[in-house]
Structure 1
Amino acid sequence: MASEGIGHPRSKVKAGSPHTDAHVLYQGSVPVNPWDVVLCISGTLIACENAVVVLVIWQNPGLRAPMFLLIGSLALADLLAGLGLVLHFVFAYLLRSDPAQLLTVGLVVASFSASIFSLLAITIDRYLSLYYALTYNSERTVTFTHVMLLLLWAVSLGLGLLPVTGVNCLAEEASCSVVWPLTKNNVAVLSVSFLLLFGLMLQLYVQICKIVMHHAHQIALQHHLLAATPHYVTTRKGVSTLALILGTFAACWMPFTVYALVADYTYPPLYTYATLVPATYNSVINPLIYAFRNQEIQKAVWLACCGCVPHSVQRARTPSDV
């Protein structure tokens, strides 16, 4: 039997079943689920977009500060996630290789895990850069960043290897989750871990907002500024940016996380795809928020594309860039 899509246990995708007749296109004798096509297209966009960020950071020796290393880690994780989605489609419908498809599922799990962990690492870095502003640019910060990167990729790799090393539902379909061939327990652990990480990120962003507002208040007192001054406006914009970052992250991942925690393989695959596709959009949005808004990366991209830097990019950093 040919391999199946992410949201389909084997018993749900047999040719001629109600789950395939109304919802799939046919390529010869192999059913092609349109949702898998959407995931493949999303993966292609994710891979191309984040490849630009990885290449820019890799080719510019000036982009080696801890902040850029973490942004590079995020872009690399999202790049691998995009490639994993594309390869999953290829091995499910074109090359029809079950072992290879199992590897791609592991790649998707590892890369999306690394993406989320990288977002947490960026949040921690932003908090430390404000809380320890005087000592942030030290060798200790660089060492701490390297340790964070090593740990997050080691944990992500371990999570990705679980399906390959036997923690899957191939031998017992009743233990399948909404994502084939991950087990219900495996997905539950991933979902709970995500909720804990989200709670930690929320707490850190609250602390960041407090620090930013406190700094703005101190500056306002020193210069006898009013609430409507440009500095207050830009500080408020910075806090709004933090809310946008956290809100986007939650909007993309929370529906799939909650659904995967309460559902199992008996639920209609449509629900899995309807919540999983928006989760992949987070990897599309990440470069726009964390990379292309950065002044130094903007300069590097413009120099690589046309050899010049527009005047609009050559601006001073403001609190809105936090």
Structure 2
Amino acid sequence: MINTEFVNLISAGLLIAAFSASVLNILAITVDRYLSLYNALTYHTERTVTFAYVILVLIWLVCVALGMLPVLGWNCLQDESTCSICRPVTKNNAALLAVSFLLIFALMMQLYLQICKIAFRHAQQIAVQHQFMATSHASSTTKGVSTLSVILGTFALCWIPFAMYSLVADSRYPMVYTYATVLPATCSSVINPIIYAFRNPDIQKSLWLACCGCVPSNFSLRPRTSSDV
């Protein structure tokens, strides 16, 4: 029979690895978008496919390493009173993860603000160069910024309750509260692709081709610009 405590350690490790992957991947996307606007002229030559694969591998290595911590002794099996809401992770370790998440969220907020500033500045420069208000570019910028706002807002709504609850609660609190906060965080990785699918024309085209084998005649796929976020 498989040891129950070992199963709990593996489950906690998988949970930490999955949540870490969700947060770090969104952070990587945020940094990538910031760099694509900040270095718009040289971005596509500096950021190769190999570079993207290396970043993804590094992210998953970090996530796997974090997921291994409960098995390697990062647990409260020897002292049940120190357990967090995610047994067998200790309350101190859960608090450390929660604080790390909040710091990452603050970093993403700062990057998103910079992205908005750069995107609108690009739109203004395009309008000045053409000596009129470039409606398509302005619309693209507005839509891109609104998409980022939806992604960031959804991310905050899904994750902040769980992070804050991890800071104040422990294993003595009713499990129903833990499930109520952890469920939205679990759904965050499912919600984000849906948002992108409804707001990104490239993804919409891919979905039409995958599902129907064709693209509607009234579907227009505009070229991407440096204002796209």
TM-score, structure 1 normalization: 0.64
Given the alignment, which residue of 169, 172, 186 partners 1:280?
186
Say whether residues 1:102 and 2:14 are aligned partners: no
> Is the CA contact (8 Å cut-off) linking 2:196 and 2:203 kept in structure 1?
no
Say whether residues 1:172 and 2:79 are aligned partners: yes
Q: CA–CA distance in 2 between the matches of 1:96 and 1:165?
A: 16
> Is the CA contact (8 Å cut-off) linking 1:298 and 1:313 kept in structure 2?
no
> Is the CA contact (8 Å cut-off) linking 1:176 and 1:182 kept in structure 2?
yes
Deviation at 1:177, TM superposition (A): 0.3
User: Which residue number in structure 2 is paired with residue 125 of structure 1?
Assistant: 32
Say whether residues 1:146 and 2:58 are aligned partners: no
Q: CA–CA distance in 1 between the matches of 2:129 and 2:215?
A: 36
User: Which residue number in structure 2 is paired with residue 265 of structure 1?
Assistant: 171
Q: CA–CA distance in 2 between the matches of 1:179 and 1:225?
A: 57
1:316 aligned partner, one-letter code: R
Deviation at 1:262, TM superposition (A): 1.6
Say whether residues 1:211 and 2:118 are aligned partners: yes
1:162 aligned partner, one-letter code: L
Matches within 5 A, 1:1-322: 97-138=4-45, 140-226=47-133, 229-290=135-196, 293-317=199-223, 322=229
Higher normalized contact order (CA 8 Å, seq sep 6+, divided by chain length) = 2
Identity of aligned residues (%): 60
Q: CA–CA distance in 2 between the matches of 1:258 and 1:293?
A: 30
Structure-2 change in CA distance of 1:311 and 1:169 (3 Å): farther
| Unmatched segments (≥5 aa) in structure 2 | none
Q: CA–CA distance in 2 between the matches of 1:103 and 1:133?
A: 43
Report SS of the residue matched to 2:30.
helix
| Unmatched segments (≥5 aa) in structure 1 | 1-94
Report SS of the residue matched to 1:165.
coil
TM-score, structure 2 normalization: 0.87
Structure-2 change in CA distance of 1:122 and 1:313 (3 Å): farther
The count of residues paired between Structure 1 and Structure 2 equals 227
Structure-2 change in CA distance of 1:196 and 1:312 (3 Å): farther
